[in-house]
């Protein structure tokens, strides 16, 4: 679980942070905090699906479910076998 958290946090930092000095944690709001816009969520969803060999239905891939690393881990674990 912790490893998944760190993998996703690292991806979010590399993929979305414009300012390298910006610090984010597991519970930093990503969508509502303006770090990941709803359009760019697509690449995050694709990353999770490829990395964990899962398929996240569109109705589950909501801005709320993607709003922090902690929430994303909960979402991913629903689909990991």
> Which one, 42 or 74, has the nearer CB to other proteins?
42
Give the Cα-Cα-Cα angle 73, 59, 72 (nearest 5 degrees): 10
Write down the least CB distance from residue 2 to other proteins, Å: 26
10 vs 5, 26, 57, 58, 69, CA distance in Å? 9, 10, 24, 24, 10
33 binds other proteins (CB under 8 A): yes
In the complex, the smallest distance separating the C-beta of residue 28 from other proteins, rounded to whole angstroms, is 12
Which residue in this structure is represented by tokens 């303006």?
Answer: 34
User: 3, 39, 59, 81: which one contacts other proteins (CB under 8 A)?
Assistant: 39
Q: Is residue 64 a contact point for other proteins (CB under 8 A)?
A: no
- Measured from the CB atom, the residue of 2 and 14 that comes closer to other proteins is 14
Residue 43 interacting with other proteins (CB under 8 A): yes
């Amino acid at each position: 679980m912790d490893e998944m958290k760190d993998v996703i946090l690292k991806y979010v930092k590399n993929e979305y942070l414009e300012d390298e000095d910006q610090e984010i944690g597991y519970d930093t709001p990503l969508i509502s905090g303006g770090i990941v816009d709803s359009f760019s969520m697509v690449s995050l969803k694709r990353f999770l699906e490829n990395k964990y060999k899962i398929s996240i239905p569109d109705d589950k891939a909501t801005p709320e479910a993607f709003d922090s690393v902690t929430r994303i881990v909960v979402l991913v674990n629903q689909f990991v076998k």
